[in-house]
Amino acid sequence: MGLLDGKVAIVTGAGGGLGEAYAKLFAKEGAKVVVNDLGGSRDGSGADRSAAQKVVDEIREAGGEAVANGDDVSTLAGGENILKTALDNYGQIDILVCNAGILRDKTFANTSEADWDLVVKVHLKGTYCCAWPVWKWMKENNHPGVMVLTSSTSGLYGNFGQANYGAAKAGIYGLMRVLSIEGRKYGIRVMGLAPGAFTRMTADLPGRQGKEPDPMSLPENIAPGVLYMVSDLAADHSGKVLGVSSRGVREIKMMQTDGFNPGKPYTAQDVAKNADKVFFADATERTAASA
């Protein structure tokens, strides 16, 4: 018995890296998998469906069930076709992992409008374009399911040189929170994922060039945390973000201080005098920033 026996899963951006690892592990655990990948380069240019088909072939060779899809996640037509691939081949959808993404890293002053628009389109709009048709199908067919939307510590904490990517990933966090609330009525669980892994997307980022990756940062060692999220083992959890990286699996949470409540009209100077109540201690800020 596998953790995902009888389930049908869509994994976007699954032609390599993290998505490939998720798709292969899901199939090993009994899921029928739609392997979506446009097959473009890291900056979003180009298209080649062979990456998705290669993963499908490997899943089938290992005894699993999978089908390839090469649609563009950043268009609603693409998202609808990805769902159609699942329904045409397997008749249902139970799991959606929005993983597809690109990078166009530059400092904010050097980020062009095109760099901004494309990164936001693929990550934030792409999450909407894939989640919306799946959500509608689950709701209209009274078919509970689970969605994992991929955010990032770059959006949750910030990261130098990733204004476009961080903004998109922070938006995905907000979408996840809203959908987790709306999904309660329909039995749809929605969780956020902030993965840290050594992949094609991250191999040449500052500090990583020429270094051997930590084995625990390889995609196959991130995938078990995501398997947990989409399985019934996590049935009691929705609206939460898990950070999954070489440092383990941990919840990342937005928090607030007790704050300063004057109970009467107040001045800016009053806020300054109560700054110790308004703000977290520096040690807490450093811990969050380095997480």
Active site members = 165
Report DSSP state, residue 123: I
The SS3 assignment for 77 reads helix
* 70 within 8 A of 40, measured Cβ to Cβ: no
Question: Residue 26 gets which letter from DSSP?
Answer: H
Q: Which residue, 148, 187, 203, is CA-closest to 9?
A: 148
Spatial neighbors of 102 by CB under 8 A, at least 6 apart, are 40, 42, 43, 44, 118, 119, 122, 123
Amino acid identity, residue 122? V
Distance in angstroms (rounded) separating the CA atoms of residues 244 and 221 = 9
**Residue 256 burial by Cβ neighbours in a 10 Å radius (0-12, 13-18, 19+):** exposed
Nearest to 258 by CA among 285, 272, 277: 277
